[in-house]
Amino acid sequence: EVHLVESGGGLVQPGGSLRLSCVGSGFTFSSHWMSWVRQAPGKGLEWVANIKEDGTDKYFADSVTGRFTISRDNAKNSVYLQMDNLRAEDTAMYYCARDCLGGCFDNWGQGTLVTVSS
Amino acid sequence: DVQMTQSPSALSASVGDRVTITCRASQSIDSELAWYQQKPGKAPKSLIYKASNLGSGVPSRFSGSGSGTEFTLTISSLQPDDFATYYCQQYRTYKMFGPGTRVDMK
């Protein structure tokens, strides 16, 4: 069974940084693109970033380009989201998701909450 | 950018009802569309991919159809477990979700 577990969320001041982690199990991690998707409180879903199987290609939503970076360590079955220069509007539940062929998401983690506030 | 809309934004239905949700794209996305179900406080769950393909373990009462710019998600006979919010998502050009349709109990 596919399992994704996020960690690293918390309360951070505007302008601060946070690094989220996601560990995958139950599948061949190195064979899948991985994504981060977020959901602000009471709002809809927003794709944030994704990364190719070997880490060589990365894509970002316009709203986070230049502030967020995505990376992975296939030896640790992990994908990371480094978030810098955080803003209040980055407050959200952040989900790790496994990409299915073409760009949908077939498995999701339970999420980790990021709150940006002074 | 491809923009996604859903209609209705919310609906009330009873167990056993047939429910249909529509998703429209601002330009053609071929069949690059997925549907997700989300319950309050929970992560989304994959239902449909490539417009009409049922995800693993998804009950057969769920079905998807459409191509180009107009798509539908149909629940043939609504069950108590189906009260939730449903999102469409295009992946033809980057990834964009629709605003969601909340299905609640009449």
List, for residues A48-103, the tens digit of each pLDDT value: 999 999 999 999 999 999 999 999 999 999 999 999 999 999 999 999 999 998 88
Asked if the Cβ–Cβ distance from A102 to B91 is below 8 Å, we say: yes
CB contact under 8 A, B46 and A110: no
Interface residues from chain B to A (CB-CB < 8 Å): 32, 34, 36, 38, 42-46, 49-50, 55-56, 87, 89, 91, 94-100
Mean of all residue pLDDT scores within chain B: 97
Kindly report the length of chain B.
106
Q: What percent of chain A has pLDDT above 70?
A: 100
User: What is the per-residue pLDDT for B94?
Assistant: 87
Q: What is the pLDDT of residue B16?
A: 97
* B53 band by pLDDT with thresholds 50, 70 and 90: very high
Q: Which residue of A has its CA nearest to B56?
A: A106
Query: Residue A106 corresponds to which tokens in the numbers above?
Result: 């077939």
Tell me if A104 and B100 make a contact (CB, 8 A cut-off).
Answer: no
Is the predicted pLDDT of residue B92 greater than 90, yes or no?
yes
Reading the block at residue B69, the tokens are 């710019």
Comparing alpha-carbon positions, the chain A residue that sits nearest to B6 is: A44
What residues contact residue A42 under an 8 Å CB cut-off, 6+ apart?
Answer: none
Residue A26 binned pLDDT confidence (cut-offs 50, 70, 90) = very high
C-alpha count within 13 angstroms, C-beta hemisphere, residue A104: 27
- Chain A: nearest CA to B87, how far in angstroms? 8
Give the pLDDT confidence score for residue B72 in this predicted structure. 98
* pLDDT band (50, 70, 90) for residue B91: very high
